[in-house]
Structure 1
Amino acid sequence: MKFSVNYPTPMHGADPDALVTFARHVEACGFEGLYVPDHVALYPGARIGGTEVPTTLPFPDPLEILTFVAAHTDRLLLGTGVLLLPYRHPILLAKRLATLDLLSKGRLRLLTVGVGGLPGEAAALGVGYATRGRRADEALDVLRLLWSGGPDGVEFHGEFFDFTEVCVYPKPSTAEFPIHIGGSSPAAARRAGRRGNGYFTGGILTPDERARQLALARSEAAAAGRDPARLEYTRWGSTDLTPGDIAALTAEGVDRLVVNASPNPLDAQLDELSAFAELIRAV
């Protein structure tokens, strides 16, 4: 089992001192990586996880945050939980992701993308809410195509993106750049199996629902001619998990937990992460 930490962006926003302190502490504790959440735009009445959220919650750009983290850490892997893919043009995103991966010396290994769950956010960005899944599928294909393309360029003709003889450099640090798929729907599970290197489930699901969706992701991978055993399975967690909880999640096939610290002041969050790091070292 691998353990990463989610940065509490809504609490600390783009405070550079808090971000550096938090990231360096996560690295010093021995955690695998740091994840950053994403929302482009909020609006009155927006609900995340069934709870209405203040429109003033700060959600800095996650790739800018991760670039800053990369400059102040040495080994910490970088992740998103989750980057809202339909709201970003894949040609621009291909360049941004490759640049961050190179600047971090290949540490952008936990990139997770999703389709978003706020209709008003999609509307504000001119994206059809009902078509955002298909747009995300195309965007994933475009990213892979651009990174694999040579100096003569590549072409793509889809429902949402259409271009010929396009070259995007630089390329990521490795030929197979990992992209994990986040979401709590069967569509997300299918997307993970067909196009992802991992499946990061969210939402409020029963154990049976989670088991069915993991099985669906793996069956879709097999149907697409991919090795289902290589599909990493990531779940959310918290710092109050017990060794028994961790053993149970391991038995469910979970490869990685991304833990959230309690909504306490920064010093208390750091102490909480230190205590959890000691616990998992003893497991």
Structure 2
Amino acid sequence: MRFGISYNTPYYGTSPDRMAAFARLAEECGFDSFHLPEHIALYPGATIGPYEMPPSLPYLDPLDCLAFVASATERILLGTGVLLVPYHHPVILAKRLATVDILSKGRMRVLTVGVGSLPGEAAAVGVDFATRGRRADEAIDVLRLLWAGGEEGVGFSGEFFSFENLVSFPKPYEATSLPIHVGGSSRAAARRAGRRGDGFFPGGALLPDERALQWELVRESAAEAGRDPDLLEYTRFGSIDMSVDRVEAMAAQGVTRVVVNAGATEPDEQRRELTAFADRFGLR
């Protein structure tokens, strides 16, 4: 089992010094990966489920933050949870992701993408909310195509993106692709993960039966697409105070990585929480 840590700027704040110190602490404690969420734009009345999001929540750009974190650390992998892929043009995104991967010497390897759940956010960037799933599918295909393409160029003709003889260099660090995990709490997300993803990272608000059904749907969709289900990673959220027994139960369900959040906002208390977790699971 691998363990990641999530850094939520609306909760922890936007101080660059605190972010860098937290990332170094996570690396020191032996966490495998450092994850950031994304919201491009909020608005009054935006809701996710029963929760109304204050429009002033300070979401920093996750990729810019990960480039910054890379400069402050040496080992920890860089990830998103989630990047709203239908709201980014994949040609530009391919370049940005490869750049972060190069600058971090191959650590931009826990990219998780989702489709978003706020109609106003989609409208703000000119995306039809109803098409965001299909747009995400195309974007994933374009990213992989550009990373793998050579000097002769590649072409793509889809519903949302189209180009001919396009060349995108440099490639990711010592690689021709980056892993793309799919996040989300829907069965559509599970099918997308099986057909196109390198892993599945569902949301936290699922009942056990639905969670098990979605993971099985990931595996079935992968097999139907001619892919090996056993090669897919399975990431889940956990709590900073979770027990060894709980992690063992998740491992029995196929989970390969658990991502937790620090409950505290003050650095001294965060250190206590992260070191206690690391000691409990022998991360160091």
TM-score range relative to shorter protein: over 0.9
For 1:94-173, what aligned pairs fall within 5 Å after superposition? 94-173=94-173
Q: CA deviation at 1:271?
A: 1.3
For residues 45-97 of structure 1, give each alpha carbon's deviation from its aligned partner in whole angstroms, at most 9, with x where no partner exists.
11235311211111111000000000010001000000000110000000000
Aligned to 1:217: 218
Give the 3-state SS of the residue equivalent to 1:164 in structure 2. Answer: strand
CA distance in 1, matches of 2:183, 2:138: 16
Give the 3-state SS of the residue equivalent to 1:156 in structure 2. Answer: strand
Aligned CA-pair RMSD: 1.2
- Percent identity between the aligned chains? 60
Aligned to 1:52: 52
CA distance in 2, matches of 1:81, 1:243: 24
CA distance in 2, matches of 1:86, 1:111: 14
Aligned to 1:27: 27
Question: How many equivalent residue pairs?
Answer: 282
Give the 3-state SS of the residue equivalent to 2:126 in structure 1. Answer: coil
Unaligned 5+ runs, structure 2:
none
1:186 matches 2:187? yes
CA distance in 2, matches of 1:98, 1:49: 34
User: Which shifted more, 174-183 or 127-136?
Assistant: 174-183
CA distance in 1, matches of 2:57, 2:110: 24
For residues 102-147 of structure 1, give each alpha carbon's deviation from its aligned partner in whole angstroms, at most 9, with x where no partner exists.
1100001101000011111011111111100000000000111111
Aligned to 1:275: 276
Q: CA deviation at 1:270?
A: 2.2
Give the partner amino acid of 1:245.
R
Aligned to 1:87: 87
Give the 3-state SS of the residue equivalent to 1:238 in structure 2. Answer: coil
Q: Note if contact 2:70-2:104 (Cα within 8 Å) is conserved in structure 1.
A: yes
Aligned to 1:242: 243
Q: CA deviation at 1:8?
A: 2.3
Q: Note if contact 1:155-1:163 (Cα within 8 Å) is conserved in structure 2.
A: yes
CA distance in 2, matches of 1:166, 1:14: 37
Q: Note if contact 2:12-2:265 (Cα within 8 Å) is conserved in structure 1.
A: no
Q: Note if contact 2:147-2:177 (Cα within 8 Å) is conserved in structure 1.
A: no
Give the partner amino acid of 2:270.
Q
Q: CA deviation at 1:248?
A: 1.0
CA distance in 1, matches of 2:192, 2:278: 32
Q: CA deviation at 1:263?
A: 4.4
Give the 3-state SS of the residue equivalent to 2:276 in structure 1. Answer: helix
Moved over 3 A (4+): none
Q: Note if contact 1:13-1:59 (Cα within 8 Å) is conserved in structure 2.
A: no
CA distance in 2, matches of 1:270, 1:64: 24
For residues 17-62 of structure 1, give each alpha carbon's deviation from its aligned partner in whole angstroms, at most 9, with x where no partner exists.
1011100000000010100110000000112353112111111110
CA distance in 2, matches of 1:205, 1:233: 15
Give the partner amino acid of 1:140.
I
CA distance in 2, matches of 1:182, 1:72: 27
Unaligned 5+ runs, structure 1:
none
Give the partner amino acid of 1:40.
I
